[in-house]
C-alpha cells in the first residue's frame, strides 16, 4: 500500500481543517473516516464536506472505517467489510473528537434523555425541556431553544469553568433576565438535585428549594473524554491527562514525536476556533515549517444572539503565572462590557460580552486608555483576519491618531 506524508484519524471539523492545511503544503494525505462524507454541525459553518470533495477531494485518500490501532508510522484500519488495512505514514494526526458521557444520576429517569451532542440534532419545538449543564454549550443551547420551547436550565457545580469572571457574570445575568422576561424560561444554580418522581425534580437553589416538574425531555451535558479507546496510545508513550484527554505541547505534538493531536480530543476549550488554530499549527510542523500555538488568539467566536469574545489570556491565567498587568474596563447597559489586559508593552488579552460591546466606539474607549503602551502590530497579531471585527476597526482608528 502507498505511504503517506500524513494520516488524519477522524474527519470532523479538526480533521477536516488539518487535512485541508496539509494539502495546501503539497503533502500526500490520507484520512480515516467513519463514513465517506462524515458531516457535522460545526463543519457546515466552516466549509461543507461536499464542497471540499468537489474542489480537492481527488487529492486525498479517504479510508472508510475506524482506526483500531496505532504504531510508529502505521495506522491499522478496520474497513466497512471487516478487513484490516495497514496505512503507512510519516506523521499521524489524532482528530478523534471527544465522547460525551451521561451523568449516572440522570441515566434512568424514565424521561427521554439526550446528551447535548445528540440533542443538537433533535426537534424540541413546543416541548418542555430540562437542560442540565454548567458549560458554555448548555447556556447557548438553552438560550436558542427558548425561542421555540419551554426550557428550564439547571446548573450544578461551578458555572462556566475556565472562563473569565466577566464572561461568567454576563451569562448568569442574561439567564436571570430571560427568566424574568419570558415565562417559558427558568434558570437555577443548584447545589443539589434529586428526583422524587418520573418527571419531577427538587433542587436546592439559591432561592431555596425549588420543584422542576412536567418536562418531556431531559438534555444532560455530561463529562467529556477523548475517543481513543483501543488505539494503543499508551504503548507509544503518549500521555493521557487526568481527565482522559491527549496531552500535547505548543506544537500540537504528543509525547511521541511523529504523532500529533488536534480538536476536542486534546481537551478544553471545546471550541471550533481552538480546533482550527491547532490544525494550522499541526500542519505547519508536519510540513517542516515550525509554528507554535499562541494562546488561541480568538478563542471565543461571537454568538449571533449573545455576542461574546475572549482573546489571549484571562485575569486568572495572568495571576497564576505571576504576570503583572493593568486592566481597562468599560461597562454598558444590560451587563455589556469590554475588558483589556495589558502590561507595559504587551497586550495580554481582550474580553467582551454583549451586543453593545461589539461596537467599534465601545472598544475604542477602552483601547484608547492604553494608547502608546503597546505597538499596533502587537495588537493586530491577536485579532481575527476579517475586516468587520470591531477590535480591528478600533485599532486602525488608533493608528491614525
pLDDT by residue for the chain (401 residues), tens only, comes to 578 999 999 988 899 889 989 988 999 999 998 865 544 444 443 444 455 555 455 567 888 899 999 999 999 999 888 899 999 999 999 999 998 877 666 666 677 888 887 888 889 999 999 898 888 888 988 988 998 999 999 887 788 877 778 888 888 888 988 888 888 898 988 766 666 555 566 666 666 667 777 788 889 887 788 999 989 999 999 999 888 999 999 899 999 989 999 999 998 777 777 888 899 999 999 999 999 886 544 444 555 556 777 777 778 777 877 888 888 888 887 788 888 888 777 777 788 888 777 677 777 777 777 665 555 555 555 565 555 666 666 666 654 44
pLDDT at residue 40 in the model: 44
- Give the sign of the dihedral formed by CA 283, CA 289, CA 293, CA 294: negative
Predicted TM-score (pTM) of this structure: 0.71
Helices and strands (H and E) in the chain: how many: 11, 19
**Annotation: CATH topology of 308-400:** Enolase-like; domain 1 (3.30.390)
Strand order through the sheet with 347-353: 308-312, 347-353, 337-342, 326-331
Domain coordinates of the chain in residue numbers? 3-99+224-286, 104-220, 308-400
For 157, half-sphere exposure in the C-beta direction (CA atoms, 13 angstrom radius) is 10
Instruction: Read off the C-alpha cell for 352.
Output: 467582551
Q: 104-220 with 308-400: one CATH topology?
A: no
Q: Does domain 3-99+224-286 have CATH number 3.40.50.1950?
A: no
Q: What pairs with residue 129 in β-bridges?
A: 151, 217
**Annotation: CATH topology of 104-220:** FAD/NAD(P)-binding domain (3.50.50)
pLDDT at residue 67 in the model: 93
Using DSSP's 3-state secondary structure scheme, residue 72 falls into coil
Residues 168, 159 contacting (CB under 8 angstroms) = yes
Residues 282, 260 contacting (CB under 8 angstroms) = yes
Amino acid at each position: 500500500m502507498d505511504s503517506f506524508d500524513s494520516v488524519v484519524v477522524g474527519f470532523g471539523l479538526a480533521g477536516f481543517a488539518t487535512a485541508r492545511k496539509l494539502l495546501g503544503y503539497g503533502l500526500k494525505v490520507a484520512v480515516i473516516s467513519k463514513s465517506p462524507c462524515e458531516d457535522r454541525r460545526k463543519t457546515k459553518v466552516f466549509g461543507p464536506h461536499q464542497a471540499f470533495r468537489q474542489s480537492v477531494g481527488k487529492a486525498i485518500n479517504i479510508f472508510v472505517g475506524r482506526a483500531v490501532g496505532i504504531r510508529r508510522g502505521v495506522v491499522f484500519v478496520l474497513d466497512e467489510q471487516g478487513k484490516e488495512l495497514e496505512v503507512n505514514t510519516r506523521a499521524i494526526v489524532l482528530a478523534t473528537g471527544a465522547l460525551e458521557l451521561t451523568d449516572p444520576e440522570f441515566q434512568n429517569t424514565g424521561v427521554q434523555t439526550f446528551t447535548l451532542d445528540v440533542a443538537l440534532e433533535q426537534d424540541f419545538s413546543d416541548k418542555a425541556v430540562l437542560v442540565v449543564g454548567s458549560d458554555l454549550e448548555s447556556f447557548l443551547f438553552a438560550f436558542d431553544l427558548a425561542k421555540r420551547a419551554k426550557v428550564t436550565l439547571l446548573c450544578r457545580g461551578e458555572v462556566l469553568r475556565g472562563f473569565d469572571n466577566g464572561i461568567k457574570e454576563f451569562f448568569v445575568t442574561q439567564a436571570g433576565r430571560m427568566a424574568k422576561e419570558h415565562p417559558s424560561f427558568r434558570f437555577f444554580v443548584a447545589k443539589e438535585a434529586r428526583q422524587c418522581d418520573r418527571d419531577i425534580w427538587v433542587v436546592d437553589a439559591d432561592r431555596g428549594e425549588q420543584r422542576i416538574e412536567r418536562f418531556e425531555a431531559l438534555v444532560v451535558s455530561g463529562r467529556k473524554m477523548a475517543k481513543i479507546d483501543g488505539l494503543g496510545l499508551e504503548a507509544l508513550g503518549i500521555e493521557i491527562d487526568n481527565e482522559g484527554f491527549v496531552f500535547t505541547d505548543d506544537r500540537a505534538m504528543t509525547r511521541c514525536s511523529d504523532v500529533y493531536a488536534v480538536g476536542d480530543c486534546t481537551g478544553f476549550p471545546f471550541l471550533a476556533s481552538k480546533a482550527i488554530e491547532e490544525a494550522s499549527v499541526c500542519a505547519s510542523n508536519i510540513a517542516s515549517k515550525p509554528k507554535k500555538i499562541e494562546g488561541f488568539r480568538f478563542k471565543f467566536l461571537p454568538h449571533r444572539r449573545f455576542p461574546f469574545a475572549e482573546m489571549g489570556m484571562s485575569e486568572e491565567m495572568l495571576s497564576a503565572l505571576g504576570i503583572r498587568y493593568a486592566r481597562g474596563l468599560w461597562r454598558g447597559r444590560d451587563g455589556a462590557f469590554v475588558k483589556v489586559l495589558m502590561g507595559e508593552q504587551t497586550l495580554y488579552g481582550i474580553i467582551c460580552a454583549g451586543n453593545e460591546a461589539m461596537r467599534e466606539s465601545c472598544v475604542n474607549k477602552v483601547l484608547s486608555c492604553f494608547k502608546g503602551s503597546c505597538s499596533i502590530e502587537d495588537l493586530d497579531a491577536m485579532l481575527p483576519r476579517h475586516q468587520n471585527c470591531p477590535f480591528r476597526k478600533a485599532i486602525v482608528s488608533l493608528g491614525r491618531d
